[in-house]
């Protein structure tokens, strides 16, 4: 059933001559249904019925789920939670052993909720088919009924439902089957797994409302990885970095990760307990790279929610049956673990909520919060199970190319594990956002961050930032031009710097006051602190503050410059030195006049780069209504 890239290309050339598509060639090459043994054929999933040659479309997927719901109404409910941009219904599927489908009642009973998200990149639909099979085994044939003993299983079958229906055999050149697959972007070509904090897409807004209604105890995002070739068919990672509460990080590192690795390996697959990225794509021997997880990603976002989140990455070059069954096993292992460690995980999540609520309680005590992380140079030996390979200079690309064998290569490689804090901040008591910045406030509302509104205009001294040195990425990244570099192939973009200052500022009535003594304090921090990697400023929501709106005419500045130099010999010497040392400046008539304009009160009135959001050390005296 495995079809390599070379074979696929051969099918394109030979099959196309006979009117045959790649998808048809794959179907002809795959085992026929008659040759495929399907246990319990009546309840075989659509993927199983095709011997994993195909994955069902939206309608066929939902028809199977509705059939399961009809057969097990006391244990399964399919529930809509919003609409895609193209109008398709977004659904979750709930499996509960006793027919309790109300999240408040489930939480009150101290039953852990596991939420699994599938097909956010809709060409990577393996988790969807794994969840169909696991649901069937929980509630129909009962071979996995014990997984619902205490835990409740909730999954999104097709989060990027619009991308799911943009089906083609050509959507993922790196991936081994199925015959047709969905598209990475949604209906407006937004990558939903870069949208979690900025929340541009309707799917993201719907997700936030659903997530907070259910507030799961553990979150999973199922993917299929691109990258190197290696032996593992299941790679996974659960964030345990500096932004994760220490108790949760300890449980992840010492319990969850080794338990899941052992479970997957014991059930016929090979797991890597880390997301595999190479330091050098052209030489695996250089080791594995550092994995940062900013909140534009699903698993980075749930860190701000105080919940453990697992990224699952099936290996794209393994056949579809292997990938789906591998996904099945890690989800089954997780459900077993959540039943066993239910009390522990629920307690850790409660502690995380309490920690978040306490962030803004003592703003003068130098409580510091890390905003951005990077690799600090530390490495850990990692037993990498790869394949032997050769390297040669490519006549096509002109760079070194890697050609993998399928001969095992088990070797200890350096794995970049140490994290250092690049940017951090002290936590204020609250932020105040001027009412006119509606889109910034709207994102906070979409995240259900608690806000109050000022009942009258207020003027007072606040902390804020003076920002400068920004450049914006030229090619768009997720529909915007951010001040960071986006994915590695995009750029350039540069954040510059924002210096903390104290200013007397005025805020109109209706301005939003966001206190930091709430569960979602970390969401507000990451959105409103300019240096945070996915802040509103970095995504371009405040671009207009960098625009100069008033200018000096040359004939006015010519006179003013001479008057300024006559009154200030030091200024005259500074100007002449810059002219002598900076040829570009010397040749730019506008820059030479602007040198003087920038040193006048008229330029100061522009307030270019002055961040309009205030940091409050106390809300006392601010007219707010809860």
Give the sign of the dihedral formed by CA 102, CA 108, CA 109, CA 111: positive
76 shares a domain with 137: yes
Question: Strands 309-315 and 218-225: what pairing?
Answer: parallel
Number of Cβ atoms within 10 Å of the Cβ of 512: 24
Tell me what the mean pLDDT of segment 4-16 comes to: 36
Q: What is the pLDDT of residues 526-545, one digit of tens each?
A: 999 999 999 999 999 999 99
Residue 365: inside a domain, yes or no?
A: no
Does residue 525 share a domain with residue 391? no
Kindly state whether residue 363 falls inside one of the protein's structural domains.
Answer: no
4, pLDDT greater than 60: no
Q: Is residue 222 part of a domain?
A: yes
Q: How far apart are the first and last CA of the chain?
A: 62
For residues 24 and 79, state if they share a domain: no
Q: Considering the domain boundaries, does residue 14 fall inside one?
A: yes
What would the pLDDT profile of 386-417 be if each residue is shown by its tens digit?
A: 999 999 999 999 999 999 999 999 999 999 99
Asked whether residue 525 is domain-assigned, the answer is yes
Quickly state the pLDDT bin for 361 (edges 50, 70, 90). Answer: confident
Report how far residue 405's alpha carbon sits from residue 393's, in angstroms, rounded to the nearest whole number. Answer: 17
> Using alpha carbons only, what angle is made at residue 168 by residues 166 and 169, rounded to the nearest 5 degrees?
155
Quickly state the pLDDT bin for 213 (edges 50, 70, 90): very high
- 618, pLDDT greater than 60: yes
pLDDT average, residue stretch 105-112? 98
Domain match, 154 and 259 both = yes
Mean pLDDT throughout 544-550?
92
Q: What is the CATH number of the domain that holds 248?
A: 3.40.630.10
pLDDT band at 3 (very low <50, low <70, confident <90, very high): very low
Residue 425 in domain: yes
- Model confidence at 328, pLDDT cuts 50, 70, 90, reads very high
Alpha-carbon span 92 to 103, nearest angstrom = 13
| Contact of 269 with 329, CB cutoff 8 Å | yes
Is residue 251 domain-shared with residue 330, that is, in the same domain?
yes
Burial class (CB in 10 A: 0-12, 13-18, 19+), 358: middle
SS3 at position 244:
coil
Residue 421 φ/ψ, nearest 5 degrees:
-80, 120
pLDDT tens digits, 472-490: 998 999 999 999 888 755 6
Confidence band (pLDDT; 50, 70, 90) for 294? very high
Q: Are residues 204 and 108 part of one domain?
A: yes
Full residue range of the structural domain in which residue 471 is found: 421-547+609-625
Q: Is 202 a member of any domain?
A: yes
Average pLDDT over residues 64-73: 97
Please say which residue of 303, 332, 357 terminates a domain.
357
Tell me, what's the pLDDT at 97? 96
> Rounded CA gap, 375 and 39, in Å?
48
Residues 274 and 257 in one domain: yes
Same domain? For 440 and 536 the reply is: yes
Residue 558 has pLDDT above 80, yes or no: yes
> Is residue 276 located within the same domain as residue 168?
yes
pLDDT at 22 over 60: no
Q: What is the pLDDT of residue 28?
A: 41
pLDDT over 90, % of the chain:
85
The verdict on 585 and 486 lying in the same domain is no
- Other Cβ atoms within 10 Å of 135 Cβ, number: 25
CB 172 within 8 A of CB 106: no
The pLDDT-based confidence of 21 (bands split at 50, 70, 90) is: very low
Number of domains in the chain: 5
pLDDT for position 487? 75
Query: Mean pLDDT for the chain?
Result: 92
Residue 380 is given by DSSP the state: E
Residues 391 and 488 in one domain: no
Same domain, 274 and 334: yes
pLDDT at position 10 over 80: no
Element (H, E) at 393: strand 379-393
CA torsion angle 281 286 287 291 (round to 10): -50
Residue 39 pLDDT class (50, 70, 90 cuts)? low
pLDDT of residue 256: 98
> DSSP string covering 540-596, please?
TTTGGGG-------HHHHHHHHHHHHHH-HHHHHHHHHHHHH-HHHHT-HHHHHHHH
Model confidence at 523: pLDDT above 70: yes
Question: Which residues make beta-bridge pairs with 80?
Answer: 91
- In a domain? residue 352: yes
């Amino acid at each position: 059933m495995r079809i390599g890239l070379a074979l696929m290309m051969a099918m394109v050339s030979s099959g196309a001559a006979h009117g045959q598509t790649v998808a048809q060639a794959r179907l002809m090459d795959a085992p026929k249904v008659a040759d495929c043994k399907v246990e319990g054929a009546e309840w075989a999933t659509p993927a199983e019925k095709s011997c994993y040659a195909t994955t069902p479309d939206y309608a066929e997927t939902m028809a199977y789920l509705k059939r399961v719901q009809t057969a097990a109404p006391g244990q399964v409910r399919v529930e809509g939670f919003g609409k895609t941009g193209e109008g398709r219904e977004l659904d979750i599927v709930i499996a509960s052993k006793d027919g309790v489908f109300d999240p408040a009642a489930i939480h009150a009973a101290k039953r852990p909720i596991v939420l699994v998200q599938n097909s956010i990149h809709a060409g990577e639909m393996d988790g969807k088919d794994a969840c169909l099979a696991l649901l069937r085994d929980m509630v129909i044939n009962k071979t996995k009924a014990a997984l619902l003993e205490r835990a409740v299983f909730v999954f999104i079958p097709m989060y990027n439902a619009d991308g799911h229906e943009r089906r083609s055999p050509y959507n993922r050149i790196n991936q081994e089957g199925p015959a047709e697959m969905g598209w990475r972007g949604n209906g407006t070509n937004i990558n939903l797994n870069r949208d979690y904090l900025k929340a541009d897409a309707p799917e993201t807004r719907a997700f936030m409302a659903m997530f907070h209604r259910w507030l799961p105890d553990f979150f999973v995002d199922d993917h299929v990885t691109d990258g190197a070739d290696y032996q593992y068919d299941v790679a996974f990672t659960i964030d345990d970095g500096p932004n994760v509460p220490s108790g949760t990080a300890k449980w992840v590192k010492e319990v969850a990760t080794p338990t899941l690795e052992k479970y997957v390996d014991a059930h016929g697959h090979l797991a890597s307990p880390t997301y595999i990225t190479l330091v050098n794509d052209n030489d695996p021997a250089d080791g594995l790279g550092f994995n940062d997880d900013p909140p534009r990603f699903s698993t980075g976002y749930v860190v701000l929610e105080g919940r453990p989140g697992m990224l699952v990455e099936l290996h794209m070059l393994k056949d579809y049956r292997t990938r789906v069954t591998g996904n099945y096993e890690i989800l089954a292992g997780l459900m077993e673990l959540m039943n066993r460690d239910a009390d522990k995980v629920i307690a850790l999540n409660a502690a995380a909520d309490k920690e978040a609520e306490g962030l803004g309680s003592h703003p003068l005590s130098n409580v510091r919060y890390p905003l951005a992380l990077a690799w600090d140079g530390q490495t850990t030996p990692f037993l990498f199970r790869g394949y032997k390979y050769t390297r040669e200079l490519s006549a096509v690309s002109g760079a070194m190319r890697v050609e993998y064998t399928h001969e095992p290569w088990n070797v200890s490689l350096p794995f970049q594990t140490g994290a250092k804090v690049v940017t951090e901040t002290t936590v204020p008591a609250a932020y105040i956002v001027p009412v006119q910045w509606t889109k910034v406030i709207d994102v906070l509302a979409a995240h259900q961050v608690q806000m109050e509104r000022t009942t009258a205009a207020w003027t007072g001294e606040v902390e804020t930032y003076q920002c400068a040195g920004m450049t914006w990425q030229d090619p768009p990244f997720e529909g915007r031009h951010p001040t960071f570099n986006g994915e590695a192939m995009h750029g350039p973009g540069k954040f510059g710097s924002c210096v903390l200052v104290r200013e007397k500022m005025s805020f109109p009535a209706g301005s939003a006051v966001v206190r930091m003594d709430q569960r979602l304090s970390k969401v507000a921090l990451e959105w409103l602190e300019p240096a945070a990697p996915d802040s509103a400023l970095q995504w371009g929501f405040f671009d207009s503050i960098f625009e100069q709106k008033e200018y000096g005419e040359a004939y006015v500045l010519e006179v003013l410059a001479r008057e300024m130099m006559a009154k200030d010999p030091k200024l005259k010497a500074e100007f002449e030195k810059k002219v002598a040392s900076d040829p570009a400046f010397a040749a730019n008539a506008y820059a030479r006049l602007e040198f003087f304009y920038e040193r006048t009160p008229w330029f100061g009135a522009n307030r270019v780069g002055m961040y309009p959001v205030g940091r409050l050390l106390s809300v006392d005296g601010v007219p707010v209504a809860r």
